[in-house]
Structure 1
Amino acid sequence: MSERQQHALELQALRSQMNPHFVHNSLNAIQYYIQRNEVELSEIYLTKFSKLIRSFFTLSRKRHITIAQEMSLLENYLSIEQLRFEDKLNYSITKDTELDEEDIIPTMLLQPIVENAVNHGIFHKATTGTIAIHFGYVSEDSFKVTIIDDGIGLVKSKAIFDNSGKELNNRSSSVLQDRLKLLEYSNTWKVSYTLEDREDTEGAIATLIFKPIEDEYTSIPSR
């Protein structure tokens, strides 16, 4: 087995490991309304959850999906989180018109970043929080995704964990870092990733620049 084939198998294994993690977090949210005996909201939540899980398991088996599919998956995920926050979470998902929604993106890379923004930024905010995701055109062979939140920011989030005596180490961050390393080693995508506090206001901004490496491995259609 070649080194590239080995990295490809590791990527596939990592995607499968994300499934139970993602299901667990979603079930924690849906359980909230069921325990409160709010039947109508529970039914809405279950419908959204079912749609999300079907989409998640289908797309997570792919090496890459279209930008349109990625945007739909994030929309479904954030709509469930919005229910969990009882409308104290606003979000937007936008795309430059120059960027083709049929262009591909590595599978299941953005969701852990959005999840961190929700759980470590917006969750600790006293007022309504907002997450803005934008897919931007860079050039004919690259594009950029920014995930901006107006939560408490990285410094304050780390301080909360330090005061609690826990380590700021969560499954989403671990999966993300492993995913980025394997994409690099497998020589299929060049992805630059930064996460920093916003300078103009509270919150954090994650920036990813994607450039596929043109070879026979990445040219396999995702559909």
Structure 2
Amino acid sequence: MLLDITSAFYSWIRGGLLVLFIYHFIFYLQNKEKLHKYYSGYLFCLFVYLVRDAFVNEKVQCYYQYISFSIQYVGYVFFIYFCRELTKSKIYFPILDYRAKILSRVLFLLACSLLIIQYFYGYEVQKQIVAYSVPFATFCAFYVFYLLSKRKTRQVYFLLFGSVFFLISANISSLKMIKGDLYLIDWPVHRMFYYFVGAIVQSIIFAILIGNHFREIIIKKQEAEVNLLKQSNQISQLKMIALKSQMNPHFLFNSLNSINNFVIQNKIDEASNFITKFSSLVRKVLQVTNENSISLTEELHILSIYVKLEQMRLKNGFHFKTVVDHTIDTDRLKVVPLFLQPFIENAIWHGLSLKQGEKTILLTITQTNEMVNVFITDNGIGINNSKKNKINTANSKKSYGIKIVKERMELMYEKEIIIQIKDVSEKNTTGTQVSLIFPAKTL
């Protein structure tokens, strides 16, 4: 039975390889996974080579003299691409990956050359060249194995075991074909028996391997979806915190008191103007807190409304100036909604409100390479004096507001945001400067 290459034993193995090829090829057509494309190509070449002896027709055998060796080398090319894709060598080992790619091209050229040699010189010459090319093919195999060994995972160990087992089995069959059936191992089996056994064992191992590979991908995808859901919940929570932070009861009550004072003092125009700006601010804040990002233009517009309200509330008011680099497209630059307001509020009530004389805040926005630089400079009493004069709860509130802004920005930009606050007081002047550095992203 094992001496007859057309027996049921060998037919079952051919059928198994064909079924595996069809399965992986259909899976590739459905999902466009490169792993299935390369493996189905490898299985197809393997099946075409092994089905050769199932045909007794002389014309078919004549055609097989052209392709029997070439199809093996094409199969090796698919196998190399399969290993590269499984190990992601292009990402983790780019130099080794490039060399493996070159080897695969050399093998493909060798496969094409064998067709030409068969046409001009015949099968016996082709067989001799294949015999001499075995060391090179073995070198390619061991180089691929070396590439695989760089990724120390369970999948790679399975891949190595299946590949080495098949390589040994295939070489035994090749040696028997060249040296004779009694060479090396004297068993009552056909010389291709070892090739068939190596092929089916390797295919079973690889089937398990690919199944585990995609199971891990599904698990990672599920973990990513869970993390995304957690992040979405965190964003929603931060939105609510941000809304409370921007429109806190302290600001609301003070604004209502300001309106009440205007009315008591019979300053009807001032009261009407304040109410108009206040309602506009509340409406804008409620609108943007439903957005993950807005343009810098809209952010500056909302900030201007807030500043005008604070100028009306603060005794003797203050000057506010905004300078934006002309290279910045404020309509397209993406920012976190209301990220500037907490810093301006701190500058007003922890710096300017305690200062006598002229009071100013300068907001400067520039761009360096791919980063946006925001500087908020006031000429208030300075952060060091502010810490001495203010009670702990006030400082705590200030730090909490900055922390919320930082978390919101890092969630959107997916990168650490730099926020620095320093006292810029000198001998005759006082003041504080806040600097924010974050990536420049467009809407």
Unpaired runs of at least 5, structure 2: 1-225
Q: 1:86 to 1:123 in 2, by over 3 A?
A: closer
Deviation string 1:63-101 (CA, Å, 9 cap, x unpaired) is: 111110111111111111111125431111121001110
Structure 2 equivalent of residue 107 of structure 1:
337
Deviation string 1:17-38 (CA, Å, 9 cap, x unpaired) is: 2354053453344344234331
Deviation at 1:57, TM superposition (A): 1.3
Deviation string 1:2-22 (CA, Å, 9 cap, x unpaired) is: 243333233223223235405
Aligned-partner Cα distance in 1 for 2:324–2:284: 21
Deviation string 1:137-162 (CA, Å, 9 cap, x unpaired) is: 122x3211111100001111111125
Higher strand share: 1
Deviation at 1:189, TM superposition (A): 4.5
1:126 maps onto 2:356 in alignment? yes
Aligned to 1:137, the other structure's residue is in SS state strand
Q: 1:36 to 1:203 in 2, by over 3 A?
A: same
TM-score calculated relative to the size of structure 1: 0.83
Q: 1:32 to 1:148 in 2, by over 3 A?
A: farther
Q: 1:29 to 1:135 in 2, by over 3 A?
A: farther
Higher helix share: 2
Q: 1:98 to 1:155 in 2, by over 3 A?
A: same
Structure 2 equivalent of residue 12 of structure 1:
239
Taking CA–CA contacts closer than 8 Å with sequence separation of 6 or more, which of the two structures ends up with the larger relative contact order? 1
What amino acid sits opposite 1:104 in the alignment?
K
What amino acid sits opposite 2:439 in the alignment?
K
Deviates more, 1:80-89 or 1:67-76: 80-89
Structure 2 equivalent of residue 135 of structure 1:
365
- C-alpha contact 1:191 1:208 (8 A) present in aligned 2: yes
Aligned to 1:157, the other structure's residue is in SS state helix
What percent of counterpart residues are identical?
A: 24
- C-alpha contact 1:14 1:175 (8 A) present in aligned 2: no
What amino acid sits opposite 2:292 in the alignment?
R
- C-alpha contact 1:60 1:107 (8 A) present in aligned 2: yes
Deviation at 1:42, TM superposition (A): 0.8
Structure 2 equivalent of residue 188 of structure 1:
414
Q: 1:174 to 1:27 in 2, by over 3 A?
A: farther
Identify the match of residue 431 of structure 2 among 194, 203, 213: 203
Structure 1 equivalent of residue 214 of structure 2:
none
Structure 1 equivalent of residue 109 of structure 2:
none
Q: Select the structure of larger CA radius of gyration.
A: 2
Aligned-partner Cα distance in 1 for 2:262–2:318: 16
Deviation at 1:56, TM superposition (A): 1.5
Deviation at 1:182, TM superposition (A): 4.8
Aligned to 2:275, the other structure's residue is in SS state helix
Structure 1 equivalent of residue 312 of structure 2:
83
Aligned to 1:190, the other structure's residue is in SS state coil
Unpaired runs of at least 5, structure 1: none
1:28-67 aligned at under 5 Å gives the runs 28-67=257-296
- C-alpha contact 2:321 2:361 (8 A) present in aligned 1: yes
Q: 1:130 to 1:181 in 2, by over 3 A?
A: same
Aligned-partner Cα distance in 1 for 2:430–2:266: 36
Deviates more, 1:182-191 or 1:170-179: 182-191
- C-alpha contact 1:112 1:173 (8 A) present in aligned 2: no
Aligned-partner Cα distance in 2 for 1:51–1:142: 31
Aligned length: 211
- C-alpha contact 1:18 1:175 (8 A) present in aligned 2: yes
Structure 1 equivalent of residue 386 of structure 2:
157
- C-alpha contact 2:374 2:435 (8 A) present in aligned 1: yes
Deviation string 1:114-173 (CA, Å, 9 cap, x unpaired) is: 00000010000111210111111122x3211111100001111111125xxx54435353
Identify the match of residue 322 of structure 2 among 70, 93, 116: 93
What amino acid sits opposite 2:335 in the alignment?
I
CA RMSD between the two structures: 2.4
TM-score calculated relative to the size of structure 2: 0.44
